Structure 1
Amino acid sequence: MLAKANRITSADDYRVIVRRGAKVAGAHTVSYLRSRESGTDARFGFIVSKKVGTAVRRNLVRRRLKAVCHEALGDGVCDVDVVVRALPSASAADWNEIRAEVLNALERRRARASIDAASQKGE
């Protein structure tokens, strides 16, 4: 389970991240990423609608997403808010597919941040 400091709980926070965050789409998930101030913990939120399946399937998908995000925290992800929206195909996807999509979105954000930092140093 994610610690309280690593969870997005406010509906307003969800709304801002989804509307203004960078969108990374995959076959089973859509991730919205928004940078936070430096030195803050990463926060994660999940959107799993009824289109994904029954309550049992939705909870399975949500648990898998939480496990991936917990793993990403161990890898040092910080200074970002992430909302992961599960698509209906996520209920049939296996662990490795979901893991790869979420970690790919985080890696693309990390690469983008390093490019932005390098361009700011050059100016």
Structure 2
Amino acid sequence: MRHSSEFSAAVRKGRRAGRQTLVIHLNRTGSDPAAPARVGFVVSKAVGPAVVRNRVKRQLRHITRERLAALPSGALVVVRANPAAAGSTTLATDFDDALAAALRPSTGNSGRGRRSQVAGEPRG
């Protein structure tokens, strides 16, 4: 991905799954469902100096390239590296876990929002 609008669409409208070293934002409804999945990376200065950030980006590109076929067609994916990614040896495992969680079908109840009230229980 190269345009900020694509990054925004993936982050705002997509599903999010995070682990200690990274967060994956997945938007299955990309602009062209027949196109291959597109992936973008966000590695902020909090991760470390330029040498470290570039190393993390190279590692993430390598990990993603091997798993590109598992992504849905037309999907927009943003991989955001956390500061813990700088010295991590579990980046690939965290990527696989987060991607599996983002691809998992939604149960409809994300645990957010209003709590349901059981009849007869006082609100608290």
Give the TM-score of the pair, scaled to structure 1. Answer: 0.76
Deviations along 1:4-47, whole A, 9 cap, x unmatched?
xxxx1111110111111111010010110110364331110000
The change in CA–CA distance for 1:111 and 1:19 in structure 2 (over 3 A counts) is: closer
What are the residue-to-residue correspondences of 1:85-104 with 2, within 5 Å?
85-94=80-89, 97-104=90-97
Q: Pick the structure with greater CA Rg.
A: 2
Give the whole-Å Cα distance in 1 for the aligned partners of 2:44 and 2:101. 25
What are the residue-to-residue correspondences of 1:19-34 with 2, within 5 Å?
19-34=12-27
Could you tell me which residue of structure 2 aligns to residue 78 of structure 1? 72
- 2:8 equivalent to 1:15: yes
What are the residue-to-residue correspondences of 1:40-59 with 2, within 5 Å?
40-59=35-54
Give the whole-Å Cα distance in 1 for the aligned partners of 2:17 and 2:55. 22
Q: Which runs of 4+ in 1 moved over 4 A?
A: none
Could you tell me which residue of structure 2 aligns to residue 120 of structure 1? none
For these two proteins, the number of residue pairs brought into alignment is 105
Which piece of structure 1 moves more, 37-46 or 14-23? 37-46
Give 5+ residue unaligned stretches, structure 2. 109-124
Give 5+ residue unaligned stretches, structure 1. 1-7, 117-123
RMSD of aligned alpha carbons: 2.0
Query: Could you tell me which of 95, 99, 105 is aligned with 2:98?
Result: 105
- The percent of aligned pairs where both chains have the same amino acid is 30
Q: Contact 1:22/1:34 (CA < 8 Å) preserved in 2?
A: yes
Between structures 1 and 2, the one with greater helix share? 1
